[in-house]
Amino acid sequence: MTLELDFSKLSGTDVLDMAIAIEDEAQIYYEQLAGWVEGKAGDEVAAFFRRMATREERHRQQIEVQRQRLYGDSPKSNAASVSWAVEAPDFDAVPTDASLRQAFDVAMGAESRAHDFYAGALEYTADDTVSDLFEGLRQAEAEHMRLLRDEMERHLG
């Protein structure tokens, strides 16, 4: 079953609740990947996935602070309870003996999908507040990709 989403009907709380759920899922995916490669790939690969999980948790916390600042204790929207799988890796394509390069590629793919998701949503939003929120999320994912490229350069040359 495919979830059809009309971005033009989203409220600010919908956008932020969706982003919180996406970041929460991403953290879980990276924790699963760390467990998947633990003891089979180099220690640096599992450590990398754990660092990514921590980054996703930190980003989720930042979005939660933004939501609290903008909308106070308003109830969570249905967007908070949907599985978005925006940053879901292709688990079948990640070998248990993954190299650090493969781990970086998995992470870059996830960040790129999140960036493209938010950029695509911008095309359908009519509300300026919602557009600003999606743009901020898009920029955050672009920054995550830049940080990953920098880290890749430091570790892999």
pLDDT in tens, the chain (157 residues): 455 778 888 899 999 999 999 999 999 999 999 998 988 877 899 999 999 999 999 999 999 999 999 999 999 988 878 788 888 888 888 888 999 999 999 999 999 999 999 999 888 888 899 899 999 999 999 999 999 999 999 988 7
Helix (H) or strand (E) holding 145: helix 128-156
**What structural domains does the chain harbor?**
9-156 (1.20.1260.10)
pLDDT at 3: 58
Helix (H) or strand (E) holding 69: helix 43-71
Q: How far is it, in rounded angstroms, from Cα 124 to Cα 101?
A: 35
Q: Would you state the structure tokens that stand for residue 42, as one six-digit string?
A: 């180099």
pLDDT at 156: 86
pLDDT at 41: 75
Q: Would you state the structure tokens that stand for residue 99, as one six-digit string?
A: 């190299």
